[in-house]
Structure 1
Amino acid sequence: MTQGTQLWGARFRSAPSPAMKRLSRSPNSYFRLAPQDLRSSAAHARELVRAGILTAPEGDEIVAALAALGADIAAGTVQPAPQDEDVHTFLERALVERLGTLGGKLRAGRSRNDQAANDLKLYLREKARDIAAGVLELQDALLAQATAHQQTLAPGFTHLQPAQPVTFAHQLLAHAQAYARDIDRLTDWDRRSARSPLGAAALAGSAIALSPEISARELGYDAPCENSIDAVGSRDHVAEFLFVTAMLSVDLSRLAEEIFLWSSRQFGWVELDDAYATGSSIMPQKKNADIAELTRGRAARLISGLNLMLVALKGLPFAYNRDLSEDKFAAFEAIDTLELVLPAMAGMVATMTVRTEALARQSTEGFTLATEVADWLSRNGVPFSEAHEITGALVRYCEEHGVGLSDLSPEQLASVDPRLTADVLPHLTPEAAVAARSGYGGTAPARVAEQIDRLRTLCDSQRQWAAA
């Protein structure tokens, strides 16, 4: 039977109570940090060789044993035991079982405080790139759909009311721009998080591990943390990571909400692929956008995780406190959620069929061309305040007579205001409306094509970071 290893307790007269053990033991999900802890342990072993605590052969033996242990954990042949309090206890026990007293030497000059901070930071830096790769898969789907629909007319909305015609590509790219910023936030977060806590020990720094800058470089950091108390007591990098993932989840939820509307019978803009929809247990005709709904719902978890971390930090004295272990709960929930949501959303977007005729038909419903009248009047010398009033009166006339703006005769136009002439009629088409919005960032197809090219270039550079 596996014997438990306890990293503390010599000064206590009695063993921990079962209730204390249950509360203190890490949840099973926390043991996922074993690969990061093993990497840190290998770097620390080399530091102990530099410090003279280990001989070079001893250091090599420990590093080899750590690599073998990592392979066995990955293969599932070595697993935490119920008596292992946390990932550090588990790995030290397993190492001592293999190396005897030599395995116990590895603990010199470090603490679970700097180990815990370092393990999670390494994990988050790796997962930030995985999340970015998932977002880029969704970006590829959006770009493919946008490329196919640069000329597709669609109604643009404000307040969920028809506003002005746009191209459907432009609407899709609005979401893509938000995701590009989410990836930028991840890269910016990573730059600030490239400081290693290893070597801070419990809080004051280590009297043995005196070259943390070397270990930092070995682990892919830029440098060690400037202050050892800050290294073990800070979790602002976790809170910031949770903000970035919460913002990403909100952006995903907004796209999910639109797809939910677009695929409804009332909108009829898109048809979801059967592989990315669900049915009903009682209504055979139903085809539900469950991916969109689940994505929208899961955003609540990430928002609450950010709140959890901020509240946990708010009243803490600045050093290590066990409250900080809540960082893993919130971070793992965010990562696990996004790893489920992102590929599902990407697949749903990539495979949906766009109903271009329905979009074109609806692009002028609700008098979306009214702004074209006001703009035309303004370009012909009418103050916009008056042009607005004239156009409002024209819309009221159309509603009362049951006609559309583009169906008006010159006589009807003039009956509303003599400044409305037949010259306005060529501007009252959705094609003319979108073409007129030709400024940088506008919905004109030529501008949308440029936006697609710029976004592809940006995504390519972000892909390089995600793969690094």
Structure 2
Amino acid sequence: MTKKKAWSGRFKGELAPEVEKFNASINFDRRLYRHDIALSIAHAAMLGRERIIPASQAVVITRSLKKIEKEISSGKLRFKASDEDIHMAIERRLSMIAGPDIGGKLHTARSRNDQVATSFRMYVRDEIDSIRLLLRKLQRALFKRATGAVEILAPAYTHLQPAQPVRFAHWFLAYFEMFDRDSARFADARKRVNVMPLGSAALAGTNFPIDRQSVAKELGFDSISQNSMDAVSDRDFAVEFLFAVSMTATHLSRLAEEIIIMSSAEFGVVELPDSFCTGSSIMPQKKNPDVPELIRGKTGRINGNLVALLTMLKGLPLAYNKDMQEDKEPVFDSSDQIKSMLDISSGLVLKMKLNVKKLGERAGESFMTAVDIADRMAMAGTPFREAHQIVGRLTRHCLDNNIKFIDLKPAQIKKIDPRLVKAIKGGITASVSADGKNVIGGSAKKRILARLKQIEKMILKWEK
């Protein structure tokens, strides 16, 4: 070993250069430096308070750690593979500034195992808070568009086939609900993230009379871990975080897919701004929806990170194993990607243009009021299953004769089934159909406006 390792006492030979490079995580875990320094300052202060180390030395350690944080933030402190990880890099620099006699005391009553687990939890906790802010930004964008789309009628689909007419605000609010669940999922996961493992040491706890509660309070943890073996090897919180990210990405991908479809020439009901599209290197006429396509593509990458972490953990015995070094890059990558995807989705939602005329025309096509006719028959006493069959025959007649419901003559209607005459009387427009769904959660204008008022109150609470 070119430089003495913190753990080298029992070794005779030097670490092979290729092993040192393979073993190092400093290239990616350096982003934990703020969290590691914060927990080290809290740990040092506790060691001083409990007289495990002299209080004066705890002050020196704290002052030195703050200096190191500034050096890292400014780029002054350079890292190398021999540092192994960010935790050892900070400790190395601490011993240079404070001297090994003082710097070497910081690691009293702790191990890298509980140190890493704690800093990682602090990082995930911060990322959850950042992601939830971006989710709310997207929800505000969806709310704004929904507010302006209450009067816009549009076709809704099942199996990507025309199904029933709705007000387009209902579509925007459907995604609002998805992302609201995502936000709640992150909030719930945060409760299990916010448990402090520091004090568990390598796996059995420590011989020193430490005060874990005071450290937890200083670092903003809600509680402390109750089993040291579990605490240092628990990565459930990271898996749960990645699932919440994957679920959010899946919702973003569904939104992106719909925008791609609706903006295609075949649908033509949405136009994306030029600033969110690119062109072709060969076809001059092309306008490609790269932003939603990338959102859709990155979702596969994010889902892969979740599977990677689950697979890494599935066969690990208690307690800590080096495999766990592979927990951070999937989390770092997924967090980076989802924040970028959420941010750009807000702009996409706000800037995409709707072809209101074409949406309205489509809402009145494809026999999408068939359910309403069947419902009217059922309300008049016909069993719904029988009404379903009758309206199915009516639809078949229109398809065979290339006509719409509105083109039917009374005699034609009566010939199929006399009960249809009353059900169709007066006609059923797209707006009548949409507003007929006057149930909580339904597509009626009355219900949409009520939900918008509820959401407005929610958003006001977010601002407080």
Q: Give the TM-score, by structure 2 length.
A: 0.96
The 3 A distance-change label for structure 1 pair 387 and 6 is same
The 3 A distance-change label for structure 1 pair 175 and 32 is same
User: How much does 1:398 deviate?
Assistant: 0.8
Is the 2:166–2:431 Cα contact (8 Å) retained in structure 1?
Answer: no
Q: Does 1:194 align with 2:194?
A: yes
Q: Which amino acid aligns with 1:304?
A: G
User: How much does 1:132 deviate?
Assistant: 0.9
User: How much does 1:5 deviate?
Assistant: 6.1
The 3 A distance-change label for structure 1 pair 15 and 65 is same
The 3 A distance-change label for structure 1 pair 37 and 340 is same
Q: Does 1:324 align with 2:324?
A: yes
Name which of structure 1's ranges 421-430 and 313-322 shifts more when overlaid on structure 2.
421-430
Q: Which amino acid aligns with 1:241?
A: F
User: How much does 1:25 deviate?
Assistant: 0.4
Question: Within 1, Cα distance between the matches of 2:78 and 2:217?
Answer: 30
Name which of structure 1's ranges 44-53 and 389-398 shifts more when overlaid on structure 2.
44-53
Aligned position for 2:262 = 262
Q: Which amino acid aligns with 1:74?
A: S
Give the match's secondary structure for 1:28: helix
Q: Does 1:352 align with 2:343?
A: no
Aligned position for 1:74 = 73
Question: Within 2, Cα distance between the matches of 1:258 and 1:63?
Answer: 53
Question: Within 1, Cα distance between the matches of 2:210 and 2:304?
Answer: 40
Q: Which amino acid aligns with 2:90?
A: L
Q: Does 1:374 align with 2:374?
A: yes
Give the match's secondary structure for 2:163: strand
Q: Does 1:386 align with 2:386?
A: yes
Deviating above 4 A after TM superposition, structure 1's stretches of 4 or more consecutive aligned residues are: 459-464
Q: Which amino acid aligns with 2:24?
A: R
Aligned position for 1:14 = 13
Question: Within 2, Cα distance between the matches of 1:158 and 1:234?
Answer: 42
Question: Within 1, Cα distance between the matches of 2:373 and 2:306?
Answer: 47
User: How much does 1:83 deviate?
Assistant: 2.1
Is the 2:26–2:81 Cα contact (8 Å) retained in structure 1?
Answer: no
Aligned position for 1:183 = 183
Superposition pairs of residues 37-76 of structure 1, within 5 angstroms: 37-76=36-75
User: How much does 1:54 deviate?
Assistant: 2.5
Q: Which amino acid aligns with 1:444?
A: A
Superposition pairs of residues 302-317 of structure 1, within 5 angstroms: 302-317=302-317
Q: Does 1:289 align with 2:262?
A: no
The 3 A distance-change label for structure 1 pair 462 and 204 is farther
Question: Within 2, Cα distance between the matches of 1:332 and 1:344?
Answer: 19
Question: Within 1, Cα distance between the matches of 2:317 and 2:428?
Answer: 65
Question: Within 2, Cα distance between the matches of 1:235 and 1:438?
Answer: 46
Superposition pairs of residues 75-154 of structure 1, within 5 angstroms: 75-101=74-100, 102-154=102-154
Q: Which amino acid aligns with 2:331?
A: A
User: How much does 1:414 deviate?
Assistant: 1.3
Q: Does 1:415 align with 2:387?
A: no
Is the 1:154–1:360 Cα contact (8 Å) retained in structure 2?
Answer: yes
Q: Which amino acid aligns with 1:407?
A: D
Report Cα offsets for 1:237-277 as digits up to 9, x if no partner: 11111111111111111111101111111111111111111
> What stretches of structure 2 of length at least 5 have no aligned partner?
none
Question: Within 2, Cα distance between the matches of 1:80 and 1:457?
Answer: 49
User: How much does 1:56 deviate?
Assistant: 2.1
User: How much does 1:341 deviate?
Assistant: 1.2
Is the 1:197–1:225 Cα contact (8 Å) retained in structure 2?
Answer: yes
Name which of structure 1's ranges 242-251 and 202-211 shifts more when overlaid on structure 2.
202-211
Aligned position for 1:243 = 243
Question: Within 2, Cα distance between the matches of 1:264 and 1:255?
Answer: 14
Is the 2:369–2:430 Cα contact (8 Å) retained in structure 1?
Answer: yes
Question: Within 2, Cα distance between the matches of 1:25 and 1:326?
Answer: 11
Give the match's secondary structure for 1:154: strand
User: How much does 1:27 deviate?
Assistant: 5.0
Aligned position for 1:397 = 397
Aligned position for 1:277 = 277
Identity of aligned residues (%): 39
User: How much does 1:61 deviate?
Assistant: 1.9
Number of equivalent positions: 462
Q: Which amino acid aligns with 1:118?
A: T
User: How much does 1:79 deviate?
Assistant: 2.9
Q: Which amino acid aligns with 2:48?
A: V
Q: Does 1:213 align with 2:213?
A: yes
Question: Within 1, Cα distance between the matches of 2:400 and 2:27?
Answer: 68
Report Cα offsets for 1:443-467 as digits up to 9, x if no partner: 0111111222223434555666xxx
Q: Does 1:163 align with 2:170?
A: no
Q: Does 1:457 align with 2:462?
A: no
Name which of structure 1's ranges 289-298 and 444-453 shifts more when overlaid on structure 2.
444-453
Aligned position for 2:428 = 428
Is the 1:435–1:445 Cα contact (8 Å) retained in structure 2?
Answer: yes
Q: Which amino acid aligns with 2:49?
A: R
Q: Give the TM-score, by structure 1 length.
A: 0.96
Report Cα offsets for 1:156-183 as digits up to 9, x if no partner: 1001110000111111111110110001
Is the 1:398–1:404 Cα contact (8 Å) retained in structure 2?
Answer: yes
Name which of structure 1's ranges 417-426 and 338-347 shifts more when overlaid on structure 2.
417-426
Is the 1:170–1:443 Cα contact (8 Å) retained in structure 2?
Answer: yes
Question: Within 2, Cα distance between the matches of 1:314 and 1:164?
Answer: 46
Question: Within 2, Cα distance between the matches of 1:458 and 1:317?
Answer: 45
User: How much does 1:82 deviate?
Assistant: 3.3
Name which of structure 1's ranges 292-301 and 209-218 shifts more when overlaid on structure 2.
209-218
Question: Within 2, Cα distance between the matches of 1:246 and 1:194?
Answer: 20
Give the match's secondary structure for 2:9: coil
Report Cα offsets for 1:123-156 as digits up to 9, x if no partner: 0000001111111111111111111001210101
The 3 A distance-change label for structure 1 pair 227 and 456 is farther
Question: Within 2, Cα distance between the matches of 1:369 and 1:4?
Answer: 78
Give the match's secondary structure for 1:10: helix
Give the match's secondary structure for 1:367: coil
Report Cα offsets for 1:382-429 as digits up to 9, x if no partner: 111111111011101111221111222222211221112156243420
Is the 2:124–2:193 Cα contact (8 Å) retained in structure 1?
Answer: no
RMSD: 1.5
Aligned position for 2:31 = 32
Is the 1:406–1:429 Cα contact (8 Å) retained in structure 2?
Answer: no
Is the 2:390–2:417 Cα contact (8 Å) retained in structure 1?
Answer: yes
Question: Within 1, Cα distance between the matches of 2:40 and 2:26?
Answer: 22
Question: Within 2, Cα distance between the matches of 1:13 and 1:44?
Answer: 32
Give the match's secondary structure for 2:156: strand
Report Cα offsets for 1:86-118 as digits up to 9, x if no partner: 011110111111111211211111110001101
Q: Which amino acid aligns with 2:79?
A: P
Question: Within 2, Cα distance between the matches of 1:377 and 1:393?
Answer: 14
Question: Within 2, Cα distance between the matches of 1:450 and 1:107?
Answer: 58
Is the 1:413–1:422 Cα contact (8 Å) retained in structure 2?
Answer: no
Is the 1:410–1:422 Cα contact (8 Å) retained in structure 2?
Answer: no
